[in-house]
Amino acid sequence: MKIIYLGHNSFKEHKRGVENVIDFQSKAFEFDRFYYIHWGSQTIASKSKNFICISIKHCWYWPIVLNFVLLRIYKKDNTIIHSHNPLFSIFSLLKSDILTVHDAFYYLNKSKNKKITFHYKILEYLLYTRCSVVHFISNYSKEKSLFGERRNFVIIPNTSHFELSDKHIIQSSKEINLTNVLIVRSFEERSRFDLLLKVAEKLGNSNYFFKVAGKGPLYGYYQNMIKEKNINNIVLLGYVKDNELLQLYFDCDIVLMIAEYGEGFGLPVIEGYLFNKPVIASNKCAIPEVIISNDYLFENDCESIIQSLDYVSNIYNGKYHDFYQSKFSNAIVLEKFRNLYLNCNK
């Protein structure tokens, strides 16, 4: 048995997001061979871990190249195609056995105010005819899709690849006199960093200190805004390596996550729980599905966020890690994927 994963970015260039999800899913079953096909600056094959990686150059004839590669390595009744790339699935001559939907294609592009949303609607309808089973990461991602009343779907949540690493923490470097609030987000419109800056400004004289790990298209814009407004209780760390992010989770007091749209799961929420930290987050998207209690949800306005910060600062609940283990642990999620792969092989 072999498996072909269809993804987006190189394992070497992108260490988080979908790439980590694929790396984790590959551990669910002992396949004889693992392939990973993704976008690249040129069409070339390489090796990473146990994957044979093949990058497809993003040019006008990429569907031809993609199908040439797939047909060369595909073997009927002996290969599972698991796609995380909607375009690859749509233009492939071979149906994907499994399609993972992180955020629904049409909904996400409509939320970004794309002008050609009608085209995305057609593509999403077509997409579901090009796969045997659709895997949604939350009920929310299914509800926002155009999947309809079909029955060929499963809902399996995300887990954290940090679970195997959480014992390898350096000694605490936490600032004792501060309440350290950690935000792990990409700097995009949907992450509402404009709101975070307003909160930080209002809390300028408090003991709250905000650390933001992540990059993205709006990183430079908000970096300049912090300097212009002279906000001293927030620091942008940019992209941080996994061992540094582990340390940040270990040292923080609260994990905060603001979302406006396009959040099909909410990985920082469960990663905070992995480290037994309280998490407060927007009452938006799939977040209510993964939060431990509605008491930890806030509306997207300054006062509501500040109230939530004060709320978790004054309570103690040491059961966050237990909550993670009961719903999102590696063992639980791996078992679900193992069953999914076994069913695909029947």
3-class SS of residue 191: helix
Decide: pTM greater than 0.85. yes
Domains present along the chain, CATH in parentheses: 2-159+329-344 (3.40.50.2000), 163-327 (3.40.50.2000)
Torsion on CA atoms 300, 302, 308, 313, rounded to nearest 10: 150
Residue 139 has φ and ψ, to the nearest 5°, of -65, -35
- Cβ-based neighbour number of residue 250 at 10 Å: 18
pLDDT (0 to 100) of residue 288: 98
Question: Half-sphere exposure of 326 toward its Cβ, with a 13 Å CA cutoff?
Answer: 8
- What's the Cα-to-Cα distance from 221 to each of 25, 211, 217, 305, rounded to whole Å? 35, 17, 8, 23
Per-residue model confidence (pLDDT) at position 323: 96
Write the burial class of residue 326 (CB in 10 Å: 0-12 exposed, 13-18 middle, 19+ buried): exposed
What is the chain's percent helix, strand, coil content, to nearest 5? 40, 20, 40
> Which position has the token pair 């800056």?
197
Per-residue pLDDT of the chain (346 residues; tens, 9 = 90+): 999 999 999 988 765 688 989 999 999 999 999 999 999 999 999 998 899 999 999 999 999 999 999 999 998 889 999 999 999 999 999 999 999 999 988 888 888 876 767 888 999 999 999 999 999 999 999 999 999 999 999 999 999 989 876 555 555 666 767 899 999 999 999 999 999 999 999 999 999 999 999 999 999 999 999 999 999 999 999 999 888 999 999 999 999 999 999 999 999 999 999 999 999 999 999 999 999 999 999 999 999 999 999 999 988 777 999 999 999 999 999 999 999 999 987 6
Would you state the pLDDT for residue 171?
59
The answer for 253, left when phi > 0, alpha when psi is -120 to 50, beta otherwise, is: alpha
